């Protein structure tokens, strides 16, 4: 009898991209990696200094995962939409890789149809991009700038640094020009496929991530996969869920209900799962980390949780603990828990 081994399709590109996916799968068995957006470039009370991180200064270690955003790279800007210089970003990505950490990239590109930012759902940008012509060509160049940046991530000895790429996130919401108010799922999938195609042809080393946003009511696996571009273009699946209004009970319910579906989808598709964006806005609850977030992290086989940024210039964009915050001690306890992995933990 011949044994037929069913291999699930994977999307990861390049030798280093594939190695990263393998590492992520292995690390998932050890615990949940803790991540922070823009960790080493600014924090609640500082900006642009080197060697700093609110997570490091609160918990004594760098996060395992660092997130960065490429928005505005497509316009040829030397800084992203939040003012982070791309040269600095590159340097920090390579440094994090060299300390054994993992990097995830998101992208908030401008609306090519209206000239406004990502949060302008008008203008039928996706339809226009897919129709080709001048807009299609211009957009292909925009995508190439992303590929070029990813390919420029190299260590001193010339080794390529792989990243988790999470394009076209929160598509089930109506706020982005690639979202539910602006295109059909079929158009969305085609848009995603063009990105996959450009980066693959450019030889980028990437692990691919799919991440819708919190649903209005409990999503079925079918709801969750409505925009899923296909097994051959996705390696990890996740969801973005925040505690915006300091309602930990509601937040926990949202997490449990949604992650149950993400977990079921992950099982079905044989994909790693993650909480791709989260955080408690301006968090003042002293036990938020150990009593609100941690219990849920223990219930699901998550690979990582990415806590969003601590913008020095926008009090509302403050999601991670920092020295002197009301839950500083609690975050330290969260760090000390066996299940949470910071950069030292994933290099043991
Ligand atoms: C959003 C907000 C924005 C920011 C963008 C990219 O979620 O934090 O303020 O510009 O991410 O980082």
Burial of 14-52, coded b for 16+ CB within 10 Å and e otherwise, reads: bebbbebbeebeebbeebbbbbbbbbbbbbbeeeeeeeb
Residues 177, 125 contacting (CB under 8 angstroms):
yes
What whole-number percentage of the chain has pLDDT above 90? 97
- pLDDT single digits (tens) 222-253: 999 999 999 999 999 999 999 999 999 999 99
List pLDDT tens digits, range 180-230: 999 999 999 999 999 999 999 999 999 999 999 999 999 999 999 999 999
Q: Is the CB of residue 335 below 6 angstroms from any atom belonging to ligand 1?
A: no
Q: Is pLDDT larger for residue 274 or for residue 5?
A: 274
**Contact of 96 with 103, CB cutoff 8 Å:** yes
Quick one: tokens of 296?
């849920």
Q: Kindly give the distance from the C-alpha atom of residue 315 to the centroid of ligand 1, in angstroms, as a whole number.
A: 12
Mean pLDDT of 272-289: 96
Q: Identify the residue with better confidence: 284 or 118.
A: 118
pLDDT at 8: 59
Going by C-alpha positions, the residue among 310, 319, 324 that lies closest to residue 43 is 310
Residue 240 Cβ contacting ligand 1 at under 6 Å: no
pLDDT of 39 strictly over 60: yes
Joined tokens for residue 134: 């001048």
Backbone φ, ψ for residue 152 (5° rounding): -85, -5
Q: Yes or no: say if 71 and 80 are a contact pair by the CB < 8 Å rule.
A: yes
Average pLDDT over residues 160-179: 98
Atom of ligand 1 nearest to the CA of 38: 12
Q: What is the pLDDT of residue 300?
A: 98
Q: Is 82 in the pocket of ligand 1 (CB under 6 A)?
A: yes
Q: Is the minimum distance from the CB of 345 to ligand 1 under 6 angstroms?
A: no
Please tell me the predicted confidence (pLDDT) of residue 222.
98
Q: What is the structure's pLDDT at 1?
A: 47
Instruction: Give the mean model confidence (pLDDT) for residues 42-65.
Output: 98
Please tell me if the CB atom of residue 309 comes closer than 6 angstroms to any atom of ligand 1. Answer: yes
Tell me if 277 CB under 6 Å of ligand 1. Answer: no
User: How remote is the CA of residue 104 from the centroid of ligand 1, in Å?
Assistant: 15
Average confidence (pLDDT) over 68-86? 98
Higher pLDDT, 8 or 21: 21
Among 3-12, 69-78, 278-287, 321-330, the least confident range:
3-12
Q: First and final CA of the chain: distance in angstroms?
A: 42
Under the phi-then-psi rule, with left for phi > 0, alpha for psi from -120 to 50, and beta for the rest, what region is 31? left
Region 54-66: mean pLDDT is 98
At 284 the pLDDT is 86
Task: Say whether pLDDT at 14 is over 80.
Answer: yes
Out of 68, 81, 281, 306, mutate this one to test ligand 1's pocket (max ligand atoms within 8 Å of CB): namely 81
Residue 2: predicted pLDDT: 52
Q: Is the CB of 108 under 6 A from ligand 1?
A: yes
Helix axes 185-201, 133-151, angle to 10 degrees: 50
Residue 131 has pLDDT above 80, yes or no: yes
Average confidence score pLDDT of the chain: 97
- Among protein residues, the one with the nearest Cα to ligand 1's atom 9 is 317
Split at pLDDT 50, 70, 90, the class of 9 is: confident
**Centre of ligand 1 from the C-alpha of residue 63, in Å:** 19
Dist. CA 120–CA 144, nearest whole Å: 22
118/285: higher pLDDT = 118
* pLDDT class of 179 with cuts at 50, 70, 90: very high
Q: What is the pLDDT of residues 297-334, one digit of tens each?
A: 999 999 999 999 999 999 999 999 999 999 999 999 99
Q: Which residues contact 68 (CB under 8 A, 6 or more apart)?
A: 37, 38, 80, 84, 89, 92, 93, 103, 104, 105, 106
The minimum-distance atom of ligand 1 relative to the CA of 71 is 6
Looking at residue 137, what is its pLDDT?
Answer: 98
């Amino acid at each position: 009898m011949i044994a037929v081994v069913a291999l699930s399709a994977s999307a990861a590109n390049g030798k280093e991209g594939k190695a990263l996916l393998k590492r992520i799968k292995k690390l998932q068995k050890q615990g949940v990696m803790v991540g922070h957006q823009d960790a080493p470039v600014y924090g609640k009370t500082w900006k642009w200094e080197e060697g700093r991180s609110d997570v490091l200064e609160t918990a004594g270690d760098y996060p395992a995962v660092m997130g960065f955003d490429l928005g505005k790279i497509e316009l040829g800007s030397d800084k992203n939409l939040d003012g982070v210089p791309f040269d600095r970003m590159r340097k920090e990505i390579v440094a994090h890789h060299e300390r054994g950490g993992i990097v995830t990239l998101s992208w908030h590109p401008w609306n090519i149809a209206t000239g406004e930012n990502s949060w302008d759902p008008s203008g039928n940008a996706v339809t226009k991009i897919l129709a080709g012509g001048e807009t299609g060509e211009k957009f292909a160049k925009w995508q190439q700038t992303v590929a070029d940046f990813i390919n420029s991530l190299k260590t001193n000895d010339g080794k390529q640094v792989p990243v988790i790429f999470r394009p076209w996130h929160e598509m089930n919401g109506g706020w982005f020009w690639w979202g539910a108010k602006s295109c059909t799922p079929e158009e969305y999938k085609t848009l995603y496929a063009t990105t996959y195609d450009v980066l693959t042809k450019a030889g980028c080393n990437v692990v691919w991530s799919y991440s819708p946003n919190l649903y209005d009511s409990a999503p079925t696996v079918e709801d969750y996969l409505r925009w899923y571009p296909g097994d051959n273009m996705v390696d990890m699946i996740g969801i973005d869920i925040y505690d915006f209004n300091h309602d930990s009970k509601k937040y926990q319910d949202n997490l449990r209900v949604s992650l149950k579906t993400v977990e079921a989808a992950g099982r079905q598709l044989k994909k790693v799962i993650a909480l791709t964006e989260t955080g408690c806005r301006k968090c003042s609850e002293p036990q938020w980390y150990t009593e609100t977030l941690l219990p849920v992290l223990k219930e699901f086989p998550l690979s990582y949780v990415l806590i969003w940024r601590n913008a020095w210039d926008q009090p509302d964009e403050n999601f991670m603990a920092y020295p002197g915050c009301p839950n500083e001690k609690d975050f330290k306890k969260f760090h000390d828990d066996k299940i949470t992995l910071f950069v030292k933990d994933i290099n043991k």
